[in-house]
A = this chain, B = another copy of it.
Amino acid sequence: MARAGVTVDRLTRAAADLADEVGFQNVTVSALARGFGVKPAALYAHVKDIRELRVRVAELALGEMADRAAAALAGRSGKEALVPFAAAYRTYAKEHPGRYAATQLELDSESLDVSAGRRHAELTRAVLRGYDLAEPDQTDALRMLSSTLHGYVTLEMAGGFRRHPREVDASWSRALDALDAVLRNWPPA
């Protein structure tokens, strides 16, 4: 019986792809094993349990998002940075719903703390540099920005905006206008 050539990386990528197809919650060890032409138990040689697999997918996704965010930022600042950054975020989520869902795992797990999660957070903070906010306003604004992007994308993908005819792309663009406006003119305490 020839070996299937499973590795942690190939497993993680397969899990991410499967998540994008069938949803993050529906990724199972069994389904992955089937994809590799291998028995489920075989995968436990590469991964401790399904939880580890999920964390790895989250790391992968956060890394990919950070890459796109970095490219979108590329020397720009202010609204010139905000808009493409936000677009990269939303596009990634829609292209990779399973991977995006993975990033919503309890962010506590130390693993995510390091590596990709931190990097993505720092890039988000970089967006704010053009708005020159002093602490603690910067952190407050960062939290609001993250919330709005994450909330928008989540609600949109869950179908929360489908009940109203207004085109979502247009609304999105106006939300960014509003975000830009409030960041430029952050209210005093």
Question: Which B residue's beta carbon lies closest to that of A181?
Answer: B187
Closest to A25 in B: B25
Residue A74 interfacial (CB < 8 Å): no
User: What is the CA–CA distance of A175 and B171 in the complex, to the nearest angstrom?
Assistant: 20
Report, as a range, how many residues of chain A touch the other chain: 35 or more
Judge whether A164 and B151 touch: CB under 8 Å.
no
Which residues on B sit within 8 Å (CB–CB) of A187? 174, 177-178, 180-181
Known A104-B158, A155-B147, A160-B107; contact A181-B185, beta-carbon cutoff 8 A? yes
Alpha-carbon gap, A3 to B174, bound state (A): 57
Question: Once bound together, how far apart are the Cα atoms of A113 and B181, in whole Å?
Answer: 33
B residues in contact with A151, CB < 8 Å: 146-152, 154
A5 within 8 A of B: no
| A108 contacts partner chain B, Cβ-Cβ < 8 Å | yes
Chain A contact residues: helix, strand, loop or mixed = helix
Q: Give per-residue flags for A160-183: 1 if the beta carbon is below 8 A from chain B beta carbons, else 0.
A: 111110101011001101111110
Contacts of A113 in B (CB 8 A): 163
For A113, the closest partner residue in chain B by CB is B163
Give the distance to chain B from A153, nearest Cβ to Cβ, in Å.
8
Measured in the bound complex, the distance between the Cα atoms of B143 and A168 in whole Å is: 9
Query: A74 → chain B, closest Cβ, in Å?
Result: 25
Q: How far is the CB of A104 from chain B (nearest CB, A)?
A: 6
Chain B residues, CB < 8 A from A147: 147-148, 150-152, 154-155, 175
| CB-CB under 8 A for A159 and B104, given A171-B139, A178-B182 | no
A-B contact pairs, 19 of them (CB 8 A): A104-B154, A106-B158, A107-B158, A107-B159, A136-B170, A140-B178, A143-B152, A143-B161, A144-B148, A144-B178, A147-B147, A147-B175, A148-B151, A149-B151, A150-B151, A178-B186, A179-B182, A180-B187, A181-B185
